[in-house]
Amino acid sequence: MKVKVRTGDSLDYYSHLFMLPMQLILEANQLTNNMPLEKGQTIQIPGFELETRSIGQNDAFWRLAIDYNLSIDALLLVNQKRNPNTLEQGEVVYLPKRIIKPVIHGQTFYDSAQLETDIKKLVDKYPFISISTIGQSVRGKPIHELRLGRGDLKLHFNASFHANEWITTPILLQLVNTFLLALTNHRTIRGLDIQALYNRIELSIVPMVNPDGVDLVLHGPLESELEDLIRFNGGSSDFVGWKANIRGVDLNNQFPAKWEIEKERKTPKSPAARDFPGNEPLTEPEAIAMAKLAKERKFHRLLAFHTQGEEFYWGYEGLEPGEAHSIAKEFERVSGYRSVQYIDSHAGYKDWFIQEFKQAGFTIELGKGINPLPLSQYRKIYHEMLGIFLAAMYV
Catalytic residues: 365
* Count, residues in the chain: 395
**Which residues have a Cβ under 8 Å from the Cβ of 150 and sit 6 or more positions away?**
23, 27, 198, 199, 202
> In sequence order, what DSSP letters do the residues of 343-359 get, joined into one string?
-S--S-HHHHHHHHH--
Q: What angle do CA 312, 315, 321 make, to 5 degrees?
A: 120
Q: How far apart are CA 171 and CA 137, in angstroms?
A: 22
> What are residue 59's phi and psi, to 5 degrees?
-70, 150
Q: Which residues of 251-274 are buried (b: 16+ CB within 10 A; e: fewer)?
A: bbbbbbbbbeebbeebebeebbbb
Residue 359 contacts residue 353 (beta carbons within 8 Å) = yes
Sequence-distant (6+) residues with CB within 8 A of 368 are 308, 309, 310, 377
CA gap 203, 186 in Å, rounded: 19
Over the range 189-207, which residues count as b (16 or more CB within 10 Å of their CB) and which as e?
beeeebbebbebbbbbbbb
Strand, helix or coil at 57? coil
- Note if the bond before 372 is cis, omega within 30 degrees: yes
Residues 6+ apart with CB under 8 A from 249: 271, 276, 277, 278, 283, 284
Closest CA relative to residue 64, chosen from 75, 51, 77: 75
- Rounded Cα distance between 141 and 318, Å, is 37
CA 384 to CA 168: how far, in whole Å?
12
